[in-house]
Structure 1
Amino acid sequence: MAHSLAFFFSLLLIFTLSITSEAAPSIGINYGRVANDLPPPSKVVQLLKSQGITRVKLYDTDATVLSALSNTGIKVVVAMPNELLSSAAGDQSFADNWVKANISAYHPATQIEAIAVGNEVFVDPNNTTNYLVPAMNNVYNSLKKLNLHNDIKISSPIALSALSSSYPTSSGSFKSDLVEPVIKPMLEFLRKTGSYLMVNAYPFFAYAANSDKINLSYALFENNPGVVDSGNGFKYNSLFDAQVDAVNAATSALQYGDVKIVVSETGWPSKGDSNEIGASEANAASYNGNLVKRVLNGSGTPLRPNDPLTVFLFALFNENQKPGPTSERNYGLFYPTEQKVYDIPLTVAEVAAAPSSEVGKSLVPTKGGTWCVANGGAGAEKLQAALDYACGEGGADCAPIQKGATCYDPNTLEAHASYAFNSYYQKMSRGSGTCDFGGAAYVVTQPPRFGKCEFPTGY
């Protein structure tokens, strides 16, 4: 029966795509590269194809990556970094040269479908907001000169922080100081060029900041009572839909409700610092797995029921050089080794074939107990010293992380330290203060996973 359903849904998707690709629901993924341990782009392309991923979003126009994506059939969103916006806004020839070198040199062999001009510009500390719309116009003019303006859309991802109000959903509105200078001109540009508004939406941030008020199941697309919007009367069963519709409400309030939304980033971290409530592998698997299922079922949001969603998951890999809290380095669906952090469906066929109870299932069984893991932000010197202590005087069982043993891979300091710290912590019966190591470790309530290595518990 599962195979028959998968075949049916595959035919349904093909039929839908044959009508109009823009009207079909779609899952893509963000391919960030702020790391020093990622596989080469050629191997990444093989990974994307093996997972059935047909859309990818980049944060630049790296030549090696764009060349690797050539003739693959994978649609690509590229980006003009924020630091180039002032030049692109003030000099049409700069935009012309940038488009020739970074777009027309690769397209159409590399199927570039959109250019993200900047990223979350309104919160850029370098204050590039005033350059945004002029840069978008100049890049569009450059595409037009090359007759590429009908093939390639132009947009710019905005964060939900651009809203002054998002709850209740119907009250969604943009910050007043952004409306006239940039929001209205940008929406007018998007309408005129037939493009869409890119939105980065993260229910995780809202939940972590308001866990006393927001039901975790509501944030993870799990069964929950839902939230009825007092303004429009719609019932929302997920925080994600509520966030997207808050932006829809904001654009409608400015009379631009016809401009569609593409979710350019969303995700959930599989690991976080002790104060990052909800960051865990099980929750990440649940959020992303249920999100894929929700998107690929083809329905829009309560405010836009006839507009199927296009969503780009964040992110393909864990990126070990991203600054900030631990969560920033743990949004990936895959480790740099190309092993899955957790198992979720990514295609219509996989969603159809998987029992509903299996969608968003972590690769690690959930058990009672607590575990001790390394604090990646503590620094290599502190982690190494703590690892040496745990495996030496601490008497931790470090045999599994020796070369050739079951937990040697991934061969990283953080992974090995986590295993050693947890071994010591369990040996000490999870006593108070036995998972600290001078700030190099912290306790988590979900079983950690590095590669194929399962961490033992005292239970």
Structure 2
Amino acid sequence: MNSLSSFLLLLLLPALTVVGLSTTGAAITTITTVGVTYATPASAAGSSPISPDRIAAKVTSMRIPAVRILDSDPALIRSFAYTNVSLLLSVPNPLVPLLATNRSLAMRWVYRHVLPFHPRSRISMISVGDDIISYSPDISQFLLRAMQNVYQSLRDLSIYKVSVSTTFSFFNTISTTSAPSTARFQQPNGDFIISPVLQFLEMTNSSFLINIYPYNFYRSNFEIPIGFALFQEHPFLFRDDLTTGVRYRNIFDIMIDSVISAMAVMGHENLPVIVAETGWPCTGTDAREVDATVLYAEMYLKGLIKHLRSGNGTPLRKEGVAEAYIFELVGREQQGTRNWGILDQNMTQKYRFEFSNGCKTSRFRTYLIGLLLVVVVLRLLM
């Protein structure tokens, strides 16, 4: 080692130490990816459907990192090519029995919705069915076989980075309770449907997808203050799990930890959890839904994103949920239906908040700078 190399090494040691500490902190703190759901809406009379390219352009302009496409429209999947937006596709519920009983149909679905676009469009996961237990209990028996056939079809085509799961609804899956430690999967579906699915997810390194709606939890229990549902910080806004002594500051964490407790009872406490849908409606089905307002919807979404960005996770899952998808990108404005959209039909934004997270970017830049410094030093020492 010459004198110049020694001098440079001493000069860069403090910087390398800072980089090491920064990247170590980044590894410990996990920031949840926050995306949106989107389904191609039925066109209103006299209006034109929103083009897939316009949807993709809007998503990228809002810096939304992930989209769950509920109807898996191939044109929409194609429109996200080279955008770096992660896509979670869905197999419609009516197709589940067909894909379960006919392996070639599963392969055909993958041929049409994945193979032409991957990896130019960043397809990360496929949800085979959505809340299929409440959709049709009769076809729930086909769920696992359909998931297996889609998974094997991907492998047969040498597609290894797209995982397979299914989506459940909290209220049709978890025994309703305000104490997460006592939560269990509802029976008999817990043993006959969910348990085999959990085993499949564990074996394939996939994630458990769940629809989480604190709005519905709040409406089912009017003793809960509205602020507890909207992530409002107040000394008296809390609920204690009397069994574990854990204190909860919002309904969202109670619901997530209820899912984690139920999975733990079945021996799968370490499975990653993805919130496939969450949100707060800005209008209700009728005048009785007085809490379905634009103000409360904005408060919920801002509170949710702040909570997920904090990196604090939940009391039972310090890393929190892996991803969360806000329902939904474009609202449905039909009378008598709830409107959950963060955009109006004319694509204008209702609320002011940012999806992107600067912390990830800055840490990644720090990591790259650190690598470059290491390379420079090593080359000088050679």
TM-score, normalised by the number of residues in structure 1: 0.69
1:286 is aligned to 2:296: no
CA distance in 2, matches of 1:196, 1:251: 12
TM-superposition CA deviations, 1:327-384 (whole Å, max 9, x none):
1xx101111211112222322249xxxxxxxxxxxxxxxxxxxxxxxxxxxxxxxxxx
**Contact 2:39–2:71 (CA under 8 A) maintained in structure 1:** no
CA distance in 2, matches of 1:219, 1:18: 29
1:30 is aligned to 2:40: no
CA distance in 2, matches of 1:228, 1:277: 28
Equivalent of 2:262 in 228, 238, 250? 250
1:182 is aligned to 2:189: no
Equivalent of 1:333 in 326, 342, 361? 342
SS of alignment partner, residue 175 of structure 2: strand
Equivalent of 1:93 in 90, 96, 104? 104
Q: Which runs of 5+ in 2 are unaligned?
A: 1-18, 360-382
1:214 is aligned to 2:224: yes
1:158 is aligned to 2:168: yes
Superposed displacement of residue 259, structure 1 = 1.1
TM-score, normalised by the number of residues in structure 2: 0.82
Higher relative contact order (CA 8 A, sep 6+): 2
TM-superposition CA deviations, 1:197-249 (whole Å, max 9, x none):
000000001112222x1110000000232111112211110100100111111
CA distance in 2, matches of 1:246, 1:15: 32
CA distance in 1, matches of 2:150, 2:129: 12
CA distance in 1, matches of 2:135, 2:316: 30
Q: Which runs of 5+ in 1 are unaligned?
A: 1-10, 351-459
Q: Which residue is equivalent to 1:344?
A: 353
CA distance in 1, matches of 2:25, 2:76: 27
TM-superposition CA deviations, 1:409-458 (whole Å, max 9, x none):
xxxxxxxxxxxxxxxxxxxxxxxxxxxxxxxxxxxxxxxxxxxxxxxxxx
**Contact 1:203–1:239 (CA under 8 A) maintained in structure 2:** yes
Residue correspondences, number: 334
Q: Which residue is equivalent to 1:238?
A: 250
Superposed displacement of residue 16, structure 1 = 8.7
1:274 is aligned to 2:284: no
Superposed displacement of residue 278, structure 1 = 1.2
Q: Percent identity?
A: 27
CA distance in 2, matches of 1:96, 1:17: 42
CA distance in 2, matches of 1:209, 1:84: 32
1:82 is aligned to 2:93: yes
TM-superposition CA deviations, 1:123-162 (whole Å, max 9, x none):
01363211111100111110110121x3011111100121
**Contact 2:272–2:321 (CA under 8 A) maintained in structure 1:** no
**Contact 1:165–1:171 (CA under 8 A) maintained in structure 2:** no
CA distance in 2, matches of 1:199, 1:295: 16
Q: Which residue is equivalent to 1:51?
A: 62
RMSD: 2.5
Superposed displacement of residue 166, structure 1 = 3.0
**Contact 2:298–2:351 (CA under 8 A) maintained in structure 1:** yes
Superposed displacement of residue 28, structure 1 = 0.7
Going from structure 1 to structure 2, the CA distance change for 1:209 and 1:181 (only over 3 Å counts) comes to same
